[in-house]
């Protein structure tokens, strides 16, 4: 049986780092662009699933791709990293979702996402089986119109976690309320925490990531802060989702929240250190 199912948008990412901040009617130079990572398989289900698999958990992305070279690249990436491909649906004659991931000089990230299939995704029988049979379900961003179907397939008492993203096309007020009432673990950053603070169930564990500053764990009115050792990296894309996947792997293995968070921070630190070394070797960071 699959231990972890992860629903959400697939993506083929085009990451780049800027010397400044994008503004209208002005040129902003690209400081770093790795041609070997154009495109790079991404999307929350991929990052969460790969990190969970590295933590020893069988993981299955539940996502949608087009019948094109990008979709084939995404599916091959998932299989190469040991993910169960049963929940990857291919739309005949369609193109695959893609994103331009822009790391700006002020520390902010802009994600320009082309959903490609948005609105046409449907939950297939195979995907429904993956969701229903998994020991744990992790809901990540997209597609918003399927959140109700996903929750219905899962059942009211089955273990469920939620990786929040500030994407109102997916996580509108109704979907936030529905997920907040069901999720036992919620992952978010500080800005996203404000969007879900009033909807999460009282016994939920809220894992608030703080980037280089570490993690806050919130539960039952108590907050625990876990500091992190910062790593200088030009492209941190996928760090938050990878943290969630590594945390869930530790959680499914029986780890308590603080231990799971520390293991997840170690996993993300290793991922970013490897990426920073690659940037250094290419002389473009």
Residue-level pLDDT at 198 = 92
User: Is CATH 2.40.160.20 the right assignment for the domain spanning 44-90+123-282?
Assistant: no
Round the average pLDDT of the chain to a whole number and report it: 93
Please report the sign of the dihedral spanned by the C-alpha atoms of residue 38, residue 25, residue 169, residue 18. Answer: positive
Tell me what pLDDT residue 112 has. Answer: 93
pTM, two decimal places? 0.94
- Percent of the chain whose pLDDT exceeds 70: 98
* Pairs from 124-131 (Cβ < 8 Å, separation ≥ 24): 124/89, 126/86, 126/87, 126/89, 127/62, 127/86, 127/87, 127/89, 128/153, 129/86, 130/2, 130/5, 130/60, 130/62, 130/84, 130/86, 130/87, 131/5, 131/7, 131/62, 131/87
The predicted structure's pLDDT at residue 2:
65
Which tokens go with 17?
């780092």
Task: Give the pLDDT band of residue 236 (cuts 50, 70, 90).
Answer: confident
Give the pLDDT of residue 281. Answer: 72
The CA distance from 136 to 132, in Å, is 9
Res 149: pLDDT:
97
Domain locations in the chain as residue ranges: 44-90+123-282
**pLDDT higher than threshold 50 for residue 285:** no
- In the prediction, which pLDDT does 119 show? 86
pLDDT at 284 exceeding the cut of 90: no
What's residue 52's pLDDT?
Answer: 97
pLDDT in tens, 84-116: 999 999 999 999 999 999 999 998 888 999 999
**Does residue 279 have a pLDDT over 80?**
no
Q: What is the pLDDT of residue 34?
A: 83
**C-alpha distances in Å from residue 62, one per residue of 85, 150, 246, 262, 267:** 8, 10, 18, 27, 23
Judged against a pLDDT cut of 50, whether residue 160 lies above it is answered with yes
pLDDT of residue 144: 96
pLDDT tops 70 at residue 154: yes
Residue pair 159/184 in contact by the 8 Å Cβ criterion: yes
């Amino acid at each position: 049986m699959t231990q972890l199912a992860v629903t959400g948008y697939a993506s083929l990412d085009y990451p780049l780092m800027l010397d400044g901040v994008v503004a209208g009617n002005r040129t902003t130079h690209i400081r770093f662009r790795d041609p070997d990572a154009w495109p790079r398989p991404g999307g929350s289900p991929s990052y969460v699933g790969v990190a969970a698999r590295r933590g020893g958990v069988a993981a299955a992305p539940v996502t949608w791709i087009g019948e094109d070279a990008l979709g084939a690249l995404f599916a091959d990436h998932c299989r190469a990293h040991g993910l169960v491909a049963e929940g990857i649906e291919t739309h005949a004659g369609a193109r695959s979702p893609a994103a331009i991931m822009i790391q700006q000089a002020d520390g902010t990230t802009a994600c320009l996402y082309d959903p490609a299939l948005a609105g046409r995704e449907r939950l297939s029988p195979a995907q429904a089986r993956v969701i229903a049979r998994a020991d744990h379900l992790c809901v990540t961003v997209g597609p918003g119109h399927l959140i109700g179907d996903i929750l219905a397939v899962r059942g009211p008492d089955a273990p469920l976690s939620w990786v929040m993203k500030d994407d109102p096309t997916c996580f509108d007020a109704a979907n936030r309320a529905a997920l907040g009432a069901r999720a036992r673990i919620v992952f978010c950053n500080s800005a996203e925490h404000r969007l879900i603070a009033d909807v999460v169930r009282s016994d939920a564990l809220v894992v608030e990531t703080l980037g280089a500053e570490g993690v806050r764990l919130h539960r039952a009115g108590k907050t625990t802060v876990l500091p992190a050792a910062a790593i200088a990296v030009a492209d941190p894309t996928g760090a938050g989702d990878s943290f969630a996947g590594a945390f869930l792997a530790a959680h499914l293995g029986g780890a308590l929240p603080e231990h799971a968070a520390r293991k997840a921070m170690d996993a993300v630190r290793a991922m970013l250190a490897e990426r920073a070394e690659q940037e250094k070797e290419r002389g473009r960071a």
